[in-house]
Structure 1
Amino acid sequence: MASTSVPAAVVVDGAYELAEGGRWVDDRYVYVDILSGRLFELRDDTDPSAPRQLAWLDVPLGAVAPVGDRPGAWIAAAGTGIALLTPDGALEWLDRPEDRTPVPSRMNDGVADPAGRFWAGSMAYDGTHGAGSLYRTDPDGTVVRVLDGLTIANGPAFTADGAIMYLADTAAGTILRCRVDPVSGELSGGPETFAQLHDGEGSPDGMTVDAEGCLWAAMWGAGAVRRYHPDGSLLHTVTVPAPHPTSVCLHPIDNRLYVTTARYGVKSPTAASGAVLSIPVPVPGTAGCTWRAGRPVPKG
């Protein structure tokens, strides 16, 4: 297992409390600041240090994915559920399942899969054990609870064929591997433990799969990003100059790793905490997927 400390460039020093959800969409990198409810983009053809704010919601914003055939529209894991975010910044709710939970909770990280479904996790504000869930939003707008009993559901990431989903339970220090039927979206059997982190190794947060099918995972609390082989063996560790990396995204062409970080919980933050970082790596990623909406019916 190799370990490197390659200099990381601070692309955006945004002083974000909890930057997350980084994805490449077409020619731009999009990410959120969860607790402030803001969505940003960085474009390849503009000054990378000047992100454009696309939306500012009055609820926490965990992650977004573009809506196919609807330019400027997003499906969002926001507040207590899943919503359509229109180009003018309005929210059209599909469902708010976390309104029906016993403890105050919010949505967290999320991603679209290659088949056009949107998957997103949830967590209790106070980190109540077992209060988190994983949801799947189908093209018709139906929101289905796929897994429960999680604590901080984070970083859904899919292989290129959509048959394998990786899911982190950050509080448990566990990365799960789930087999998915690409046609129906149903899980085939229960989740398997792909990797178990121990004291001092950090907690798995946002994740992505690279062009070679390997998994990259941000390690909250450890100032590191790990790359795993599909068989679960640890291939590489990249040091990050911030204690709380939150999400990872690989540029689909330029062999650069983009990492969001948090200032939350950092006593003496530097410019690298609450930022977007860029690190050269030997492998590219893949472009983000879209949610292929059919005829979703907003629920008010």
Structure 2
Amino acid sequence: MPARDAIQILDAPRCHLGEGPCYDPGTDTAWWVDILERRLFAASLASGRVREHALPFMASAVAAVDGERQLLAGENGLYLRIIADEKLSLHCPLEADDAGTRSNDGRVHPSGALWISTMGRNAEAGRGGIYHVVGTRVTRLYGGLTIPNAICFSPDGATAYFADTDDDRLKRVAVDRRTGLPTGEPATLYDHRGGEGGLDGAAVDAEGLIWSARWGAGCIDAYSPEGERVRTIAVPASRPSCPTFAGPALDRLLITSAYEGMTDDERAADPDHGRTFLLTVGVRGLLEPSFRLSA
């Protein structure tokens, strides 16, 4: 485990199901959500001040649009949010006709297209999918998944990665750098079946390593583009959920966590459950691209 001073616990409320972080370098602010409690958080990394915003729906991911707006993946659609006045407007629906599903993991491809996943509200088998969104055009890429996670992209935008936590295999697929659409069939990059915990959210660093939270195992793993697990770093919470690179040098990982499904005894044994962390990992990350509003 890294030295304690390499891990900072943000002064933010515990998250029932923390997810979907992103970082704004213009204001040195990290954003993330608590899906189940319908909350959005904004943390000034310089001051440590954390603001909490109530949401009228469950949101699972935050993406930048420009200096004034951001995109929230909501339970029935994608919403634009004006940062200054917190006004929300529907950008486009996403499985709005299926009340049994909600959005889950998502990342923006270097082209500006969003990959966003859905899943059953009770993680029912096969209810999940992954979509490609550019402007308001929504294209279903993959179906029959259970808990789609680990969506991220290689630095050159030519490869997409994703996983189904229920299946526990990290997949890769070739994509068009200009559009973010797949040009081949997914193949297994790393088979984690039988290992402790499950693959959750992920982010890619400047060298192309895939940093994935391992739900239930209290750690972050780094995988090479060739499919080798090259590094494992323990974190204080047993259920880390999603990382993103943050800080002016993009040299820290902001990691959300959760206490969803934990018993009272499990929470007592895991005192930092649901906390949000900043972890110094000694590598430089990539800034998440902004979502492109026009097709």
| Same fold? TM cut 0.5 | yes
Distance verdict in 2 for CA 1:12–1:171, change over 3 Å: farther
- The CA distance in 1 between the partners of 2:112 and 2:261, in whole Å, is 35
**Residue number in structure 1 paired with 2:45:** 44
Following superposition, the deviation at residue 13 of structure 1 comes to 4.4
Q: Which amino acid aligns with 1:134?
A: I
Aligned to 1:20: 19
Deviation per CA, 1:66-105: give whole Å up to 9, x if none.
113xx3311221012222223333332233332334x701
Looking at structure 2, the residues matched to 254 and 214 of structure 1 have their Cα atoms a distance apart, in angstroms, of 14
Compare relative contact order (CA 8 Å, sep 6+) and give the higher one, 1 or 2.
1
- Runs (5+) with no aligned partner, structure 1: 296-300
Cα distance per residue 1:127-160 (max 9 Å; x no partner): 111110111110x321221111111112311112
Name the % identity: 32
Indicate yes or no: 2:84 matched with 1:85: no
Q: Which runs of 5+ in 2 are unaligned?
A: none
1:29, 1:43 within 8 Å by CA — same for their partners in 2?
Answer: yes
Q: Which residue of 1 aligns with 2:288?
A: 288
Alignment of 1:221-236 (within 5 A): 221-236=216-231
Asked if 1:244 is matched to 2:239, the reply is yes
Which is further off, 143-152 or 218-227? Answer: 143-152
Query: CA contact under 8 A between 1:200 and 1:222: conserved in structure 2?
Result: no
AA in 2 matched with 1:203: G
Task: Answer yes or no: is 1:262 the counterpart of 2:251.
Answer: no
| Shift in Å, 1:216 | 0.4
**Alpha-carbon spacing, 1:185–1:258, altered in 2? closer, same or farther (3 Å):** closer
1: CA distance, partners of 2:260 / 2:77: 23
1:62 equivalent to 2:73? Answer: no
Superposed counterparts of 1:141-160, under 5 Å: 141-160=136-155
> Structure 1 counterpart of 2:161, which letter?
Y
Q: Which residue of 2 aligns with 1:100?
A: 97
Distance 1:169 1:127 in 2: 11
* Secondary structure in structure 1 of the residue aligned to 2:166: helix
What CA distance in whole angstroms lies between the structure 2 residues aligned with 1:164 and 1:58? 35
Scaled by the length of structure 2, the TM-score of the pair is 0.90
Q: Which residue number corresponds to residue 191 of structure 1? A: 186
Q: 2:8 touches 2:277 (CA, 8 Å); kept in 1?
A: yes
Secondary structure of the 1:148 match is strand
User: SS in structure 2 opposite 1:85?
Assistant: strand
CA distance in 2, matches of 1:198, 1:242: 22
Alignment size in residue pairs: 285
2:133 alignment counterpart = 137
